[in-house]
Amino acid sequence: MATSNALVIAGAGLAGAKAAETLRAEGFDGPLVLLGDESERPYERPPLSKGYLMGTSERESVYVHPERWYEDHDVDLRLGTAVTALDAAAHELTLADGSRQGYAKLLLATGATPRPLAVPGAELDGVLLLRQLADSDRIKEALPAAQQIVVVGGGWIGLETAAAARAAGVAVTVVETAELPLLGVLGREVAQIFADLHTDHGVTFRYGAEVAEITGTLGHADGVRLADGTQIPADAVIVGIGVTPNSLLAEGAGLEVDNGVVVDAQLRSSHPDIHAAGDVANAFHPFLGRHLRVEHWANALHQPQAAARAMLGQDVAYDRLPYFFTDQYDLGMEYTGHVERGGYDRVVFRGDTARREFIAFWLSGGRVLAGMNVNVWDVVEPIRALVTSGRTVDAERLADPGVPLTELV
């Protein structure tokens, strides 16, 4: 068993890599172990449904660090190494090969796993999920040979892969259980804008629809049958219906788990020597005053840096507002803040929604909860300031592009 004074990170994605980088940058010079169950060194996920999938960015660009970085910084990176059990009392991990790894402090950065589609035919070739680099490679390989695909799920992954498929000239049908894509995330006012964007680019939507079966020929998917009996032909089926946090290690160790590993503002779990960050962490957010599990890139980038500093005994709290972005066709977007489903009473638009050059603000009681800038740039900081100020704003001035956002804070 390795020395017990090691700091160990379980999960070698973006969160794990940034934690390792921060530990070294903050002066930790002891044993540092980074365990990952994939064969690829740590990489970022957004390109997998954006630039890398569309062929506009190279494979090397997805990696968090150059290949030699881990050796140069004395990080013991072990790929293809799954962690199968955690003994919190013994400060010990069991690995898939039966060996054990001790630790002084542990960071769980185990991420999340795509939810499979639980219908007959889901195991057929040509039914594709998107989470890992290899998944993106499979979709990239499938698109040039496809004439038509079905995307199950109208969330961010579903819409981004739909945009990539349309850019490749493939006919796309999106099957969505709700009345609009992104309805639960954005609300009806803004969700309609994204629906119109995809419709304008030739995507067909089937709303209020459920998949009953994926049909196939000779072991390969050839279509989707909906619950109402409608058959939609497809050369491939891409499933994007959300993810489940990989919290089984924590649960098996007796840590508090509730929609992920429950941690405080310092990213500390119910065991003082175990922290969690990234997709798997359900963290208390000091500004929002509640626990929140965020699955977006910026959280995996920044949250583990705070966790690493907390592991070193620094007095830190992670209080950055949630942030995410998307690129679809000629639309680029950034979103800052957080709105509970149905937790707003008004949406204020600043700019031209018809041209898709605007900022949308979600308000409750006159306070800005979140803002989304669409093809309008360099406004994230004033939007963040509007949200964190907690002030009541004048809706007419908020909607007026002639009034600088900085004047409303």
Question: How many CA atoms lie within 13 Å of 151's alpha carbon, on the beta-carbon side?
Answer: 30
pLDDT digits (tens, 9 = 90+) for 340-373: 998 999 999 999 999 999 999 999 999 999 999 9
Beta bridge partners of 206: 175
Phi-psi region of 375 (alpha: psi -120 to 50; beta: other; left: phi over 0): left
**pLDDT at position 334, please?**
98
**pLDDT at position 65, please?**
98
**pLDDT at position 361, please?**
98
Return mean pLDDT, the chain: 97
**pLDDT at position 382, please?**
98
Cα angle, residue 164 at apex, residues 161 and 167 outer, rounded to 5°: 150
**pLDDT at position 186, please?**
97
pLDDT digits (tens, 9 = 90+) for 376-390: 999 999 999 999 999
Q: Is the pLDDT of residue 1 over 60?
A: no
Q: Is the pLDDT of residue 42 over 70?
A: yes
| Secondary structure string (H, E, C) spanning 362-382 | EEECCEEEEEEEECCCCCHHH
Confidence of residue 4 (pLDDT cuts 50, 70, 90): confident
pLDDT digits (tens, 9 = 90+) for 142-153: 999 999 999 999
Q: Is the pLDDT of residue 85 over 70?
A: yes
pTM of the entire structure? 0.95
Phi-psi region of 363 (alpha: psi -120 to 50; beta: other; left: phi over 0): beta
